[in-house]
A and B are shown apart, each in its own frame.
Chain A
């Protein structure tokens, strides 16, 4: 694609990065066919090719409008398009840059800014999280009251293993997940303990930074990232093997720390190292699988698995979880269009309720088509989102593994 970026951005790091990304795009439109919002709305500008075009125009000096912003807001950042793109266009990065520029130029209405601030503050602080969730709900009049109750199926947390192994890994103290489903982290700790690894919970920033980042609160995100790096650093120096993300949405952010802090002289090198050590829990368990597999009580239960976008598109980790579930004996119900987003997409479900609900019901239709007894996934966002629309229990796959350990 031809580019001619405007002076205001041309020589900035964002401008240079965006220019390279735009030039790699040949506008073939293969992305459009796999874009969930394009499938629902059928408008070119609600697909990646259209959005790339809008961003290009803005970076070339055309004044964006509220409409431009709406088209960019409707993007789930599921990055399905990146998986499809033969030219390797880094759409996720581009849309981040585009959104920030558009937000600066167009601004937000008072109501929107308030909603976004409340979401951020609420979700970032564990205490007020419950309140924030309620607020989010208030913004979702489409959600039948009857379903609201099901959103937080509390499961027994169980005990956190006391034994200290020689090997250790660090756990991101997860803002949303801890409050919603503490059972995930304790299940992870038990499974890792069975593999001979101690999982250390380190509290620091309280969030990986993804949330602020996706709501265009750049400085806030940077503060979180620095706090996390500072808190983990002594443990990394003491030999911790990995920083583990138990929600794929966080894992993908952790892996981007290096890129994110690249222009921060004081933190760039450390961020690079943290990113290199960051692993999604599925990667960690895959590596330990030979040891763990022998300890699993086999099953024949039929379940459906939903691979989160951050896992399959963001980190390009495909098939790993499915393979382990099959090894455990689970029969995986066939799921049509498993590459498509469920509509959760972080705070998207609150900010774009109509689209999000439409995508959820489509996803649940395909997940339940094969009559599974429960649904597994790998990200807290997808988990609660899907749970709000089905009678079936939706769990993190690590919980299923934990349940089956002898």
Chain B
């Protein structure tokens, strides 16, 4: 069992004072700034940290952690605040470490296809900074998240079907442990059998084991040809079965994203998409040499035709492609904008590809039965999809129906051999589902947490159920 007690006001005040003495203006206690750091996106439940600090170096973070560890003050890392599962809610107050000042790209090694960045670098900043090398970093959650936050949530995105998730793309880390040690995990080698894989332990740990300050990342060459295409379907089944077949046949899709009719309706309005109808739709992208891309497109065309897909609308020019993928990245905002004043949160199930159609069908049935406006969108090539549920948080009944639908959809995926979260993480919303998914395994996770963070100061109450 894990425990944590909210620190006393005196302990907090003493900590704030010594932080202020060391970091001056970079120690902020104004209500507005604390509020901004009290929540992520999705379900807007928030709780304020007592103070927000903006550290600039590994050493500063190490001494802040030492201080907090001694005083038993909680520490919550903050990247860009786009996480969706209540990760940032300061359940017990404490110190929020905002990493937005640690934005240096420390090294770029084009000859080894890797780079090292500070945790506060965002994915868009990284890609802008390495553009001149002809390389790119493929992981692209819809939001312009920080690489630190993406590592901490084991994030993925539309490119994961081809390039993997943060799990596959981090070679090593610098981590500050709660007792203030600065450790380096991994190496620049592409593989290693040296001991426990600490890199992968910290990836996805949601700030509960230590603070990630530097990340060594894999990079990829920009393909010779990139072609994006949109295909619309008469029904959802046609679209989903197309994806399953493409994956089973091993077509090396770079991206394959599903949007259902309702989601398309919202995106057409929000992202001002022209010439598309509110129908189930696949956004696809093919990477490779000219001939290879043409070949993939031909194969894909024959599959979509068999499933009632429309002719393709291609986006080959970079600006058209960015518009298309921006629309995809903005689905969450499109959903919220579609029903002004409501909130939106997303389920995140991921199942083996053969069960994708069953899982989507069942999820859609649950969503429809909730009576709430729901939209389906997903990185379906991985078997991962989201039901975006919109609801009025001031209406207890709607709130309850939204919660119920989300938990039921998670359970359906677990029963099918899948997971309650493909990429967003556990935070506080999926603690129960984690127990169902991992049973005894959760006890082992708790043992690890206790060993690495004995006073439970690192983002307490998240990721691992207290009991």
Contact = CB atoms under 8 A, between A and B. Distances in A.
Q: Do A and B come from one complex?
A: yes
Contacts of B194: none
B395 to A, nearest CB: 11
Interface stretch (B28-36, B152-160, B379-387): B28-36
Interface string B341-358: 101000000000000000
Interface string A62-91: 000001100000000000000000110000
Contact of A2 (B333, B334, B337, B341): B341
Nearest to B392: A2
Interface of B: 30, 32-33, 35-36, 44, 100, 270-272, 330, 333-334, 336-337, 340-341, 343, 393-394
Contacts of A57: 32
B304 to A, nearest CB: 29
A316 to B, nearest CB: 14
B20 to A, nearest CB: 17
30 contacts: A2-B341, A2-B393, A2-B394, A4-B394, A23-B340, A23-B341, A24-B337, A24-B340, A26-B333, A26-B336, A28-B330, A28-B333, A42-B100, A44-B36, A45-B32, A45-B33, A45-B36, A50-B36, A53-B32, A53-B35, A53-B36, A54-B32, A57-B32, A68-B32, A86-B271, A86-B272, A86-B333, A86-B337, A87-B333, A87-B337
A41 interface: no
A86 B270 CA distance: 6
- The 4 closest A-B CB pairs, nearest first, are A26-B336, A23-B341, A28-B333, A23-B340
A67 B30 contact: yes
A405 to B, nearest CB: 37
A359 to B, nearest CB: 21
Interface of A: 1-4, 23-24, 26, 28, 42, 44-45, 50, 53-54, 57, 67-68, 86-87
A91 to B, nearest CB: 15
Nearest to B343: A2
A203 to B, nearest CB: 44
A4 B395 CA distance: 13
A29 B35 CA distance: 16
B77 to A, nearest CB: 17
Nearest to A89: B337
B270 A50 contact: no
Nearest to A57: B32
Contacts of B330: 28, 86
Contacts of B36: 44-45, 50, 53
B44 A2 contact: yes
Nearest to B394: A2
Nearest to A1: B341
Contacts of B270: 86-87
A390 B100 CA distance: 34
Nearest to A26: B336
Given A26-B337, A44-B33, A50-B36, 7 more contacts: A3-B341, A42-B100, A44-B36, A50-B32, A57-B32, A86-B330, A86-B337
Contacts of A23: 340-341
Contacts of B32: 45, 50, 53-54, 57, 67-68
A301 to B, nearest CB: 30
Contacts of A68: 32
A67 B272 CA distance: 37
B375 to A, nearest CB: 14
Contacts of B35: 53
Contacts of A3: 341
Contacts of B334: 86
Max chain B Cβ within 10 angstroms of own Cβ: one of A23, A44, A67, A86: A86
A147 to B, nearest CB: 31
Contacts of A53: 32, 35-36
B442 to A, nearest CB: 34
A3 B330 CA distance: 22
Contacts of B33: 44-45
B149 to A, nearest CB: 14
Nearest to B82: A29
Contacts of A42: 100
A28 B331 CA distance: 11
A2 B330 CA distance: 19
Nearest to B124: A33
B273 to A, nearest CB: 11
B159 to A, nearest CB: 21
Nearest to A88: B337
Contacts of A67: 30, 32
Nearest to A19: B341
Nearest to B36: A44
A2 B46 CA distance: 14
Contacts of B272: 86
A269 B30 CA distance: 46
A28 B330 CA distance: 9
Contacts of A4: 394
A4 B44 CA distance: 15
Contacts of A54: 32
A207 B49 CA distance: 49
A57 B30 CA distance: 14
B388 to A, nearest CB: 12
Nearest to B100: A42
B34 to A, nearest CB: 12
A44 B38 CA distance: 14
A68 B35 CA distance: 14
A57 B100 CA distance: 24
Contacts of A28: 330, 333
Nearest to A67: B30
